A and B are shown apart, each in its own frame.
Chain A
Amino acid sequence: MLRVTGLTKSYRSAGEDVAVLRGVDLAVATGESVALTGESGSGKSTLLHLIAGLDAADGGEIALADINVSTLNDAGRAELRRDRLGLVFQQFNLIPSLSVADNLVFQSRIAGRHDAAWHDELVERLGLKNLLRRYPEQLSGGQQQRVAIGRALAPKPLLLLADEPTGNLDEDTADEVLRLARDLVARTGCGFLMVTHSARLAATLDRQVNLHAGVIA
């Protein structure tokens, strides 16, 4: 379902081009969960951002289902994110002025893919029922990340992308949140690609790939 081939990306820093990705090949099948590991600065997050269409690659191809992500313009990439992808970041990235309920439905609403039954199930499974009227700042980190996962999965995306989703959480909470994420991914049957530096968490997913020196080891 996701096929990345020969992906390259370099950044200009202090007047020099630094190659971050030097030809990455990666595939994630429908229903498969993959952990992307690597040391700091290995380009894990960059790869994830390129797949999410948040940034444009220098070379290579990203294909999601029947869509060639590399050829899309900004509006096309935005549409891709809106309709096909779910994104979860380390900093939760909730909208502080919206309540939990509004944050949850936000993406599915603008994607026009709101499904009331699925929404109720998400609230139920994520244990957010009593938190719906709160604002993000009134939640703990784990709660916030549960809302973020709920928002990302509400439009039933093809692929859930997560960048160190448990990086700000303690170990127990991290396990709990990740378990919820895995369960929900399995329930929707979407693909799941998670960037993490934790081998322990990576081991809980179907497959682990390691990025080293800009290529998949």
Chain B
Amino acid sequence: MRRPLWILAVLLSHWRRHPMQLATLLIGLISATALWSGVQALNQQARIAYDRAAATFGGSRTAMLVSKDSATFPQQLFVDLRRAGWPVSPMLEGRVQIDGRSFRLLGVEPVTLPSEVGNAPAVGRGSLQAFVTPPGEMLVAGETLRDLGLKEGERPQANGIGLPPLRMQAELAPGALVVDIGIAQDILKMPGQVSRLLVGKSKGKSETPHATLESVAGDKLRLVEPSAESDLERLTDSFHLNLTAFGLLSFFVGLFIVNSAIGLAFEQRLPMLRTLRACGVSARMLNTVLVIELVSLALVAGLIGLVCGYFIAAALLPDVAASLRGLYGAQIPGQLSLKPVWWFAGIAISILGALAAAATSLAKAIRMPVLATAQPQAWQQAQRRWLMFQSAAALAVFAVAAVLIQFGDSLIAGFAVLAALMLGAALILPMVLQIALAFGQRSARAPVGIWFWADSRQQLSGLSLALMALLLALAVNVGVGTMVESFSRTFLVWLDGRLAADVYISAASDAQAKQIKTWLRDRPDVEAILPGGRAETQLGGAPIEVLGLPDHATYRDNWPLLESTANAWVRLRPGDTCLVSEQLSRRMKLAIGDHIEVPAPGGNWPLGIAGIYADYGNPKGQIAVNFAALTRHFPQTPLTRLGLRVAPDKIAPLITALQATFGLDDRNVADQATMKQESRRVFNRTFSVTGALNAFTLGVAGIALLTSLLTLANSRLPQLAPLWAIGLTRRRLAALELLKTMAVALITALFALPLGLLVAWCLLAIVNVKAFGWRLPFHVFPLQLIELLAVAMAAALCAAALPVARLARMQPATLIRTFVNER
């Protein structure tokens, strides 16, 4: 085994003499692995959290029976089904307000709870008796305990009712309060009612025989099959797809760097490889050792990349968690925990990436003849063939994108359109550059000018990969930037309309709300008191919110409607009409004039649709009804939320007085400005991850350009030396080189702008609609485009500066040597 080691040592000696090259290679591999595995870590972290939520007492992983037409149903149906052999367990779900904040209360029945329903065993870890017999226990996750600011054993108050003593249970999803079903029925004032029945799996191969659902429950219940994907997973799919797409993009851009570094190293080591072969190293041995060398480097880079990926993920996690919470209500723990498979996958992706990036060089090495033959100068012909082939491929990819736009109807199709657009654009880029440069060459008169364009054309094949990376990074930046900016503008206008009241109050209980209302009525500075409320039910199998709006000019004048019938607000009054959110209307294909039946505790509530409104950022469908009608149909709705109209100069004193009188804190009372600021903060965080990844990608593309130029700089000496010999100064040559690089970068950047706008359009018109259910107006932001163009040129300048500076200071002897040494 000494022989391969000797050969490996010889191969590695190259890196010792060219540490910059090694650094480039490693940086490429490290950044590819780091960004990819960082994004994977974030996705994995989120998925673990979703699993936890899905497994919490009857998330979507469990089959369940729900009422066909009402939010709850009598528990006698549970008993009847058990008596008929159904392995069902009852559950009651509702919301409780603690300190003005809303929590999800789950009432479970631990004795019949199917064992596969996640956290069931944990109930028994204490004694069953303590959990089920009054006062019972309320199980919460550690995060929830911290949010509440309470300790185990303490009893929070909800709307004047003492809740059971708290007990921490780590496996629970944050934000959920779990109590015995009997206790939940008391707290929610729903005696004998259950929300759903979880259907257990039978342990054996076959199912325990039982009567049909209809024969026991008539047409009251409906079976909801378990879904492998949780609700949160479905909702957050787009978010993670977005992250993954960025991770993938950075990964490929990183591989561009690796590709050019390895290409350069291979070119430089060609004589060495030949000498090795001449000295008696067989082709197979040499290739094997080359692969071993590459895998070893990938292993080292992969490990470093993983560590960097970990830090990237840890740095981005707070923003990702905030986004997911703000957008989807998904609770992601802030502590990064990674599975071993993540480490293995990261190393594997590093090695596979390195092998893929080195594929062309390795293939060349394998086919390399021992004897150097004269290289035919037929680059022009070869380049033309290559250009034609790539352009044909680009057209084919564009055709696929067109078909997808026409017939695709899913989020995946949306992303596929994006991917096809970018791939096609990347493939056609060399042709675009070729045409632009040929045009330049035709318009040039002076010999140096002609040489300038012709030489740029010859450089194309060497630079094209790096330019493609630059194109993609820029296009994505333009696209995402435009989307975020469009969203931001629309969102802020919308927010102004939505937050129309001046002061918002969230009382601790209905009783306190009543006191506050009485107190407010006597204050002359309060122009209007607008009670609000929100109930939850389900429509078409998905959860929806029912928002109660008081009949008041504040809403009529400000509340933004996308579409509506004439006097929609007046029609809302009698309580037989509603407005639906854009998301809901898209998902259920509802239009103005349609009728829906909303399940309510007292039976179905038929409603006509009078308008559609934007409800950005809400993963759930929502309908808005008259507040009085809401409290009639959903009598359990907490009446703790109030909005106030107050003259601007009276706001601060009123809030102070409210806080002093009722012991309210900042969480319970806020003015409009604070609310807007909070909403904007959540909104901004949502896109800060995208922004960070965007910047990373652009940075990596810059490095790719730099390494490509470094690679080219060395191989270009033989082409530059004759010009130097016939009288161009090194300084002049360097300036020309810089100009050439800037020219191709500029053409690429200009090409990236329309592509980026196309990407933005795809994001707004296809991806957003599928992912979130809303369509935003498309705006172009010229300043932003100019800014990006400048950033791109600056990146190109930085990348070109180093090799050009080297050229400008190059010793004449080095240039002379190219004549002597030319093989």
Contacts and interface: CB of A to CB of B under 8 A. Distances in A.
Contact of A54 (B3, B370, B823): B370
Given A74-B284, A79-B280, 4 more contacts: A87-B278, A97-B14, A110-B7, A110-B279
A96 B273 CA distance: 11
A95 to B, nearest CB: 5
Contacts, number: 78
A109 B279 CA distance: 11
A96 B280 contact: no
Interface of A: 49, 52, 54-55, 74-75, 78-83, 85, 87, 89, 91, 93-98, 102, 106-107, 109-112, 135, 151
Q: Which of B3, B275, B276, B282: most chain A Cβ within 10 A?
A: B275
A112 B18 CA distance: 29
Q: Which of A82, A110, A151: most chain B Cβ within 10 A?
A: A110
Given A49-B371, A110-B3, A110-B7, A74 B275 contact: no
B277 interface: yes
B13 interface: yes
A110 B371 contact: no
A78 B282 contact: yes
Nearest to B284: A75
Contact of B2 (A80, A91, A112): A112
A98 B271 CA distance: 13
Nearest 10 Cβ contacts at the A-B interface: A82-B280, A78-B282, A81-B280, A97-B13, A75-B282, A97-B17, A97-B14, A107-B279, A54-B370, A93-B275
A82 B13 contact: no
A47 to B, nearest CB: 13
A112 B281 CA distance: 12
Interface of B: 2-3, 6-7, 10, 13-14, 16-18, 271-272, 274-285, 370-371, 823
A185 to B, nearest CB: 18
Contacts of A89: 278
B38 to A, nearest CB: 35
A204 B63 CA distance: 97
A52 B6 CA distance: 22
A122 to B, nearest CB: 16
A110 B281 contact: yes
Contact of B371 (A55, A74, A91, A107): A55
Contacts of A83: 280
Contact of A93 (B3, B14, B271): B271
Contacts of A79: 280, 282
A168 to B, nearest CB: 9
A52 B278 contact: yes
A190 to B, nearest CB: 16
Contacts of A97: 10, 13-14, 16-18, 272
B371 A87 contact: no
A95 B10 contact: yes
B13 A91 contact: no
A74 B278 CA distance: 11
Contact of A81 (B278, B283, B284): B278
20 contacts: A54-B278, A54-B370, A55-B371, A75-B282, A75-B283, A78-B277, A81-B278, A81-B279, A82-B281, A83-B280, A85-B280, A89-B278, A93-B271, A96-B271, A96-B272, A97-B10, A97-B13, A98-B10, A110-B7, A151-B279
A89 B279 CA distance: 12
Nearest to B279: A107
A74 B282 contact: yes
Contacts of B277: 54, 78
Contacts of B280: 78-83, 85, 107, 110-111
A116 to B, nearest CB: 16
B283 A74 contact: yes
Given A55-B370, A55-B371, A75-B282, A95 B275 contact: yes
Nearest to B823: A91
A95 B278 contact: no
B265 to A, nearest CB: 11
A79 B281 CA distance: 7
Nearest to B7: A110
B371 A95 contact: no
A110 B3 CA distance: 5
Nearest to A82: B280
B717 to A, nearest CB: 15
A151 B823 CA distance: 22
A206 to B, nearest CB: 25
A112 B3 CA distance: 8
B387 to A, nearest CB: 26
B17 A87 contact: no
Contacts of A75: 282-285
Contacts of A81: 278-280
A129 to B, nearest CB: 22
Q: Which of A81, A95, A109, A111: most chain B Cβ within 10 A?
A: A95
A211 B549 CA distance: 105
Contacts of B18: 97
A95 B370 CA distance: 15
B6 A93 contact: no
Nearest to B14: A97
Contacts of B276: 95
A78 B13 contact: no
Contacts of B278: 52, 54, 81, 87, 89, 93
A45 to B, nearest CB: 9
A75 to B, nearest CB: 4
Q: Which of A74, A82, A96: most chain B Cβ within 10 A?
A: A96
Nearest to B820: A168
A85 B277 CA distance: 13
Contact of A106 (B2, B10, B16, B274): B10
A87 B14 CA distance: 22
A89 B275 CA distance: 10
A78 B279 CA distance: 8
A106 B371 CA distance: 20
A96 B13 CA distance: 9
A110 B272 contact: no
A17 B271 CA distance: 28
Given A79-B280, A79-B282, A54 B371 contact: yes
Q: Which of A91, A96, A97, A151: most chain B Cβ within 10 A?
A: A97
A112 B271 CA distance: 23
A81 B696 CA distance: 50
B157 to A, nearest CB: 76
Contacts of B272: 95-97
B376 to A, nearest CB: 11
Contacts of B282: 74-75, 78-79
Contacts of A55: 370-371
Nearest to A109: B6
A94 B275 contact: yes
A187 to B, nearest CB: 21
A55 to B, nearest CB: 6
B397 to A, nearest CB: 37
Contacts of B285: 75, 78
Nearest to A76: B282
B6 to A, nearest CB: 5
A74 B823 CA distance: 25
Contacts of A74: 282-284
B27 to A, nearest CB: 21
Nearest to B273: A95
B663 to A, nearest CB: 77
Nearest to B3: A110
A91 B272 CA distance: 12
A6 to B, nearest CB: 22
Nearest to B277: A78
A173 to B, nearest CB: 16
B6 A78 contact: no
Contacts of A52: 278
Contacts of A94: 275
A111 B278 CA distance: 13
A78 B277 CA distance: 7
